[in-house]
């Protein structure tokens, strides 16, 4: 058979095999190896080296075996061989850009090595043009296979998540993964870190872990909500107590914030917050694409307390504050003009800056409930009531609602948090014909 190679000298080859988690069993490395070896024996080609990658996606070239193939063999001019053999086109890779696969094949040719796809066989010279077209088509089909598979997997994961079950990853700090049976969803056992379920139809949920991490989560929420401690103080206290953070290091503001804002602690499962499939750069998904299942598992933190924490968090986050700062500046200017005009009409001349007026952007949490966070400076705390103006950043006329809030409703940090579901919202909200009267009363 050696005459088909156009040379009496016995040829030499190296081979590469790849199998990823999503590939079918017929693409396993042992089956690829057996097929390639039989193929090379048929053509009397010596196989001098093999490289392989198990469980590695073909969407990227960053695979250990693939890198060794090029660095140690193809680019090594001290080792003489003729062919680089792959089981088929998809084993080289399932790259999104077909030119990337062509780039690696061209590098082989530059080094004097011909690429052979064993399933296709050795292509005669008069058929190489057709073979190249076939290769380009197969590269595109190879990526489309990964794309469709990814979409099918995501649809399955979203369906499972909508039922309140975890579809992968580690349990949040303070929680543990509980394995449920395939049929009646009864608890089987608490799973160890890194352990995978053995039956596809089994499900995984979360439960409080019941150790020091669970107590740490509770203490963080208590410190922030009831003791009014800031992130920095909470992190410092945990570090003083030598309590390790989720990754084993020291606590900081970011780690405390991630605990306080994780809805898993009130028993809510959230999936599809980010998009990063097919090795592409990760990005955030809009909230409309999130899969949210409330009451999916036992809450570690009372849901009402968790929602109160989210209300309190909103305006403590710089990104939210900066987003609304320009709008607040414009609204304040307009309202000050209206207030001065209103007071002048009533024969009152007063420094507007001395009046107890507070502002806040009306915000919505993922549950679509309006909420507000007002702040009053300590220099104005001698007033019994504050006129609190709600600003809507989404409408042209930014002023939304006006509240009259007792100073005693503000906490020791000068903050007052409430939502439209709270009874105080309707109690404090002023009707249009009450606003002028309230402003005049504040000036007296």
Concatenating the DSSP letter of every residue in 126-190 gives GGHHHHHHHHHHHHHHHHHHHHHHHHHHHHHHHHHHHTT-B-SSPPPTTEEEEEE-TTT--EEEE
Which of 5-9, 49-53, 307-311, 391-395 has maximum average pLDDT?
A: 49-53
The whole-number pLDDT of residue 410 equals 83
In 3D space, the residue among 68, 66, 86 whose CA is nearest the CA of residue 76 turns out to be 68
The whole-number pLDDT of residue 242 equals 94
pLDDT band at 174 (very low <50, low <70, confident <90, very high): very high
Chain centroid offset of residue 40 CA: 46
As a whole number of angstroms, the distance between CA 39 and CA 120 comes to 10
Looking at per-residue pLDDT, the higher value among 436 and 276 belongs to 436
Least confident of 35-49, 256-270, 380-394: 380-394
Burial 20-52 (b: 16+ CB within 10 A, else e): beebeeebebeebbebbeebbeebebebeebbb
Strands 187-190 and 175-180: antiparallel
As a whole number of angstroms, the distance between CA 86 and CA 19 comes to 12
pLDDT band at 265 (very low <50, low <70, confident <90, very high): very high
Token pair of 115 as six digits: 């690429």
The whole-number pLDDT of residue 317 equals 61
pTM value surpassing 0.75: no
The whole-number pLDDT of residue 31 equals 92
The whole-number pLDDT of residue 278 equals 46
Q: Residue 152: how many CB atoms within 10 A of its CB?
A: 11
* Alpha-carbon dihedral sign for residues 72, 74, 79, 82: positive
Q: Are 299 and 265 in contact (CB under 8 A)?
A: yes
Contacts 24+ apart (CB under 8 A), 63-71: 63/18, 65/16, 65/18, 66/16, 66/18, 66/93, 69/14, 69/16, 70/104, 70/107
> What would the pLDDT profile of 401-424 be if each residue is shown by its tens digit?
899 999 888 876 677 878 888 889
Quote the percentage of the chain above a pLDDT of 70. Answer: 84
In 3D space, the residue among 300, 325, 312 whose CA is nearest the CA of residue 230 turns out to be 312
The whole-number pLDDT of residue 3 equals 43
In 3D space, the residue among 415, 414, 417 whose CA is nearest the CA of residue 378 turns out to be 414
The whole-number pLDDT of residue 42 equals 92
Mean of all residue pLDDT scores within the chain: 82
């Amino acid at each position: 058979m050696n005459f088909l190679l156009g040379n009496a000298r016995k040829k030499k080859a190296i081979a590469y095999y790849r199998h990823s988690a999503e590939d079918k069993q017929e693409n396993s490395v042992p089956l690829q190896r057996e097929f390639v070896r039989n193929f090379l024996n048929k053509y009397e080609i010596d196989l001098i080296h093999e490289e392989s990658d198990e469980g590695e996606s073909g969407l990227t070239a960053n695979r250990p075996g693939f890198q060794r193939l090029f660095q140690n063999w193809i680019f090594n001019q001290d080792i003489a061989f003729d062919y680089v053999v792959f089981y088929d086109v998809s084993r080289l890779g399932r790259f999104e850009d077909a030119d990337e696969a062509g780039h690696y094949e061209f590098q082989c040719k530059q080094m004097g090595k011909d690429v052979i796809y064993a399933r296709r066989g050795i292509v005669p010279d008069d058929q190489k043009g057709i073979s190249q077209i076939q290769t380009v088509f197969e590269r595109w089909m190879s990526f489309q296979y990964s794309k469709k598979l990814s979409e099918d997997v995501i649809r399955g994961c979203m369906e499972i998540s909508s039922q309140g079950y975890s579809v992968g990853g580690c349990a949040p700090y303070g929680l543990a993964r509980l394995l449920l049976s395939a049929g009646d969803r009864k608890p089987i056992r608490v799973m160890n870190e890194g352990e995978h379920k053995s039956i596809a139809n089994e499900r995984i949920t979360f439960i409080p872990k019941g150790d020091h991490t669970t107590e740490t989560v509770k203490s963080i929420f208590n410190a922030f909500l009831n003791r009014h401690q800031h992130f920095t103080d909470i992190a410092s206290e945990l570090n003083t107590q030598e309590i390790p953070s989720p990754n084993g290091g020291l606590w900081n503001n970011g780690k405390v914030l991630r605990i306080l804002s994780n809805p898993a602690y009130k028993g809510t499962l959230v999936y599809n917050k980010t998009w990063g499939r097919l090795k592409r750069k990760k990005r955030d998904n809009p909230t409309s694409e999130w899969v949210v299942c409330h009451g999916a598992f036992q809450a570690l933190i009372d849901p009402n307390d968790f929602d109160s924490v989210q209300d309190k968090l909103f305006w403590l986050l710089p990104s939210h504050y900066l987003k609304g700062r320009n709008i607040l500046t414009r609204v304040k200017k307009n309202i000050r003009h209206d207030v001065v005009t209103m007071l002048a009409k009533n024969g009152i001349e007063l420094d507007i800056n001395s009046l107890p007026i507070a502002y806040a952007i009306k915000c919505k949490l993922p549950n679509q409930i309006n909420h507000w966070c007002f702040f009053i400076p300590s220099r104005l705390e001698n007033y019994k009531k504050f006129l609190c103006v709600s600003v809507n950043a989404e409408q042209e006329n930014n002023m939304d609602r006006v509240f009259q809030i007792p100073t005693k409703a503000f906490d020791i940090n000068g903050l007052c948090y409430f939502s439209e579901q709270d009874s105080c919202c309707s109690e404090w909200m002023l009707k249009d014909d009450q606003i002028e009267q309230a402003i005049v009363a504040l000036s007296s």
